[in-house]
Amino acid sequence: MIQVTVKESSNRVSFFEMSGHADYAEHGQDLVCAGASAVSFGAVNAIMELTRIEPVIEQADSGFLKVAFPEGLDEKTDEQVQLLVRAMIVSLKTIEQDYGKYIKITFTA
């Protein structure tokens, strides 16, 4: 199962972390894993390209991804980052609604 943890406080997402594998299908044919990966990497790439910020990214071959967003950004940039990361969360929730046996999203304060 893919575990997604979103750290949110004061209505601001400070980081998200994904780990595990969906095991929905064979490697290379796992639509849940491919969808979650595409959504998360697409969002991170969009954040970097459109806001010009450099989040702190940790990644491992084992299916681990952690992305932390810097504090102290100007208000407009932070709003843009938050909008993009929240769009990613909406997409991941959509996957979770249909494939909840294979992906779980948890929010922490």
* 27 in active site: no
Catalytic-labelled residue, pool 7, 12, 21, 86:
21
* 33 in active site: yes
Tell me the pTM: 0.92
CATH architecture for segment(s) 2-104: 2-Layer Sandwich (3.30)
12 CB-contact burial (10 Å; exposed 0-12 / middle 13-18 / buried 19+): middle
pLDDT-above-70 percentage for the chain = 100
What is the DSSP track for 17-48?
EEES---SSSTT--HHHHHHHHHHHHHHHHHH
pLDDT digits (tens, 9 = 90+) for 3-55: 999 999 989 999 999 999 999 998 889 999 999 999 999 999 999 999 999 99
Catalytic-labelled residue, pool 4, 18, 22, 33:
33
Residue 62's pLDDT is what?
79
pLDDT-above-90 percentage for the chain = 91
Which run of H or E residues covers position 79? Answer: helix 75-99
